[in-house]
Amino acid sequence: MEKQKVIGTNGKVIADIFYFLDNISEYKSKEDFITQILKDMPSKGLAKYAGCSKYELKKTLLWCISDISLPSIDINKEIISQKLKEVLDVYLLLFNLKKISLFIFPTFDDFIINKMNGVSGFCTRKNIILIFLNPVPNFETVLKRTMAHELAHALSPFYWKHTSLGDWLILDGIAENFQVNFIEERDAQLANLFNGVISEKEILKIFNEIKNRLNSKNNKFHKEVFYGTGKYPLWSGYAIGYYIVKEYLKKQKKVNWSKIIKTKPRVILNEFLRTYI
């Protein structure tokens, strides 16, 4: 493990980055590599086991690192730190940003590599984010997009309280709209992964089909809506959430992102239900 500090434009440490990218080929198996990661993890304080229990973290690592054999992986950490700093500095201008703990791991998962451009992220608790990387072409730009999305979750007072499909739609919709407004406009190479994956007509069609299940806490149904494991196209949930929040933002005289992120998801969802359905 290597730890780096990110200094913001305010001159303060705005992030601690824990890298787990070195000497991967030295391990005989993925399990051996993950065992070492768990030994090297902070075991005390707010960043203990990256905001998870030890069991939860191991389960996540087994899933996201995947079953592909472990070759060497060459990622320039200075580039990663710079890209993450660019996003953090944007947030620093808008919010009273507390120090973020970032945990960077390799991934060899086919889905992350081929469907997510080599980058995936999770917000495990307030101000703690896990990122999984594989150096496919242009992964650095996708890293900025992913970081912006996860930071919106890290700043949300509702992210750890959500339980229903409806809440998921809005929270991911807020995260995607934020990254489009404040990250993509600063970098033309960043394309929104979820905007445009399905048409507006299909968004409304699917929403009409699922609106009676917005209170659902069924994980299988959530995966069907968001990850294309059933009848709906891949990323449908993200596209729907992006659309709903975008329509909500159009009605604001002035978009105050600090206020938007603190708005209860049901407020945004209920307005959409009244207006469009």
Q: Domain check: are 144 and 44 in the same one? A: yes
Number of domains in the chain: 2
**In a shared domain, residues 188 and 134:** no
| Whether residue 10 is found in the same domain as residue 55 | yes
Angle at 266 between CA 263 and CA 269, to 5 degrees: 105
Residue 178 sits in the same domain as residue 269: yes
Does residue 31 sit in the same domain as residue 140? yes
Q: Mapping DSSP to helix (H, G, I), strand (E, B) and coil, where does residue 232 land?
A: coil
pLDDT value of position 71: 67
**Statement to judge: residues 124 and 70 lie in one domain:** yes
Q: Residue 113 is which amino acid?
A: I
Q: What is the pLDDT of residue 169?
A: 96
| Residues 6 or more apart whose Cβ sits within 8 Å of residue 228 | 234, 235, 236
pLDDT at site 163: 79
Pick the last residue of a domain from 155, 174, 195: 155
Pairing mode of beta strands 2-7, 128-133: unpaired
Same domain, 39 and 123: yes
Residues 40 and 31: their CA atoms lie apart, in Å, by 14
Rounded to the nearest 10 degrees, how much is the dihedral formed by the CA atoms of 265, 129, 222, 272?
Answer: 20
From 104, 126, 155, give the residue that closes a domain. Answer: 155
Q: Are residues 35 and 126 in the same domain?
A: yes
Say if residue 141 is in the same domain as residue 169: no
- Residue 116, CA atoms < 13 Å, CB-side half-sphere: 21
Q: Return the structure tokens found at 180.
A: 């489009």
Of 155, 174, 198, which marks where a domain is finished? 155
Q: What is the pLDDT of residue 194?
A: 58
Per residue of the chain (277 residues), give pLDDT as tens.
Answer: 899 998 888 888 889 999 998 888 888 888 999 999 999 999 888 889 999 999 999 999 999 998 777 666 778 888 899 989 988 888 877 777 678 899 999 999 999 998 898 999 999 988 899 999 998 888 888 899 899 999 999 888 888 877 799 999 999 999 999 888 877 654 443 345 555 578 889 999 999 999 999 999 999 999 999 999 989 999 999 999 999 999 999 999 898 998 999 999 999 999 999 987 6
Q: Do 232 and 184 sit in the same domain of this protein? A: yes
Q: Do 146 and 174 share a structural domain?
A: no
Do residues 127 and 154 make contact, with C-beta atoms less than 8 angstroms apart?
yes
In a domain, 160, yes or no: no
